[in-house]
Structure formats: C-alpha cells, structure tokens
Amino acid sequence: MAYSSTNPPCLMTSGSFGGQSLRMWGYSSTHTLAAVAASSFFSNGHALGLKIGDGVYTVTLSTAGAFTDFGLGAVNAVTTGAGATVTYAATST
C-alpha cells in the first residue's frame, strides 16, 4: 500500500528541537517501518516542510487498529519539490 497524502505526518514540535532548529514529526498508519523507510516514501515531504535531521516517530497499527510496532528515525534525504526519506535507528515490535 502506498503512502497517502490524506494521512501525512503531523508536526509535533513547531520550533527548535534541541537548539538545532530540528523538529519532531509523528506518523501513524498500517505501513510497516520498512515501507516508511523506502526512498521518498513521504512523496510530499518537501511541501510538508520535512528537512534533513528532523525526527520522525512512527507507529504501525494493524488494520484492526492494534499496535504492531514503532520506530524513531530521522529524515536523511529530501528532494526539492518531491519526497522525503527516513532512516530508522531505533525500532521495536
């Protein structure tokens, strides 16, 4: 299942994060962490304002709404006018 811009990541912090002007985003869907880590998964990431170094907290839920896993990652690539890619350093199932 592909990313849908009708369920975008939400901005959890609006200003400086750790004094580095980095922000934290949250994303919840039925997508696996591997799917979310795919190149330019957030196809409208640039338009949303995702930038390299921003944190992304992702929660995966089953289609029935049960918790499946979560991951904490960072945006490692943003293509101007297009998508953003996240790399996960910490995950749990």
Residue range 41-67, pLDDT digits in tens: 999 999 999 999 999 999 999 988 899
Look over the chain and give the mean of its residue pLDDT values, rounded to a whole number.
90
The encoded tokens of residue 63 equal 């289609």
The encoded tokens of residue 38 equal 């795919």
pLDDT digits (tens, 9 = 90+) for 80-93: 999 999 999 877 76
**CATH no. for residue 69?**
2.40.240
Is 62 among the domain residues?
yes
Contact predicate 62/11, CB 8 Å: no
The encoded tokens of residue 54 equal 């921003």
Is 76 among the domain residues?
yes
Is 41 among the domain residues?
yes
Among residues 52, 75, 47, 56, which one has the least CA distance to residue 13?
Answer: 56
Among residues 4, 23, 1, which one has the least CA distance to residue 12?
Answer: 23
Q: Give the pLDDT of residue 60.
A: 94
Global pTM reads 0.87
Is 60 among the domain residues?
yes
What's the CA gap between 85 and 79, in Å, rounded?
9
The count of domains in the chain is 1
Q: Give the pLDDT of residue 19.
A: 64
